[in-house]
Amino acid sequence: MNILQINSSARADNSQSTRLATEIVERLKSLAPGATHTVRDLARTPHPALDENALQALFTAAEQRTAEQAARVALDDALIAEIQAADAVVLGVPMYNFGVTAQLKNWIDAIARARVTFQYTENGPEGLLKGKKVYIALTRGGQYRNTPSDSQVPYLKTVLGFLGMTDIQFVYAEGFAMGPEGEQKALAAARTEIGQIVAA
């Protein structure tokens, strides 16, 4: 098994979402001796945003790209290669202002490429990143699970499903801003969920 871990917190250290994502990975590795593990930490190695220069590079034929354009596309190519090679994907996803982090959005924009990770057919769009198990550790300061304020879960289901990743398990750790007791309850609930979904 090849496990890809994506840490999307803006914090390189002391991130609860990263901590829980790592715990999921360790559980997976305990069930799959010999598993490989790749970590992409988007705080330590930020990926550039999709801007006009990046779009121009992507829409320029490979043989016609400048050296600068080729280097920009190569950054996205590296992320695509990582997720194509992964059997399991583990995302650490904190909630920032009711959404995913800018770091995670940049990663999603990088891996979503027409005719590479998805394509349009006569029957509509088809995701090309199939056969992967996805685990997402969600950390929130408040309580948003199954409420209209949770925009993360619908968005992640939609965009990852569009790319072909439909087997998704969410782990919720909520209430970190509700005092020490709330934090402990959040971690305990998340670890119980991790045990349940990874064992399954």
In DSSP notation, 122-166 reads TTEEEES--S-EEEEEEEESS--TTSTT--HHHHHHHHHHHTT--
The span from the CA of 185 to the CA of 70, in Å, is 48
Q: Are 43 and 11 in contact (CB under 8 A)?
A: yes
Number of independent structural domains in the chain: 1
Beta-bridge partners for 37: 3
Give the domain extent around 102. Answer: 2-199
Average pLDDT value for the chain: 95
The span from the CA of 136 to the CA of 170, in Å, is 5
Task: Count the residues in the chain.
Answer: 200
What's the mean pLDDT in 86-101? 97
The span from the CA of 43 to the CA of 40, in Å, is 9
What's the mean pLDDT in 144-155? 96
Residue 84's nearest CA partner among 109, 118, 60 is 118
- C-beta neighbour count of 146 within 10 angstroms: 8
pLDDT on residue 200: 67
Tell me the per-residue pLDDT of 39-86, one tens digit each, with 9 for 90 and over.
999 999 999 999 999 999 999 999 999 999 999 999 999 999 999 999
Q: What is the CATH number of the domain that holds 179?
A: 3.40.50.360
Q: Which of 42-51, 112-121, 189-198 has the lowest mean pLDDT?
A: 189-198
What's the mean pLDDT in 8-35? 94
Q: Which amino acid is at 108?
A: I
What's the mean pLDDT in 83-102? 97
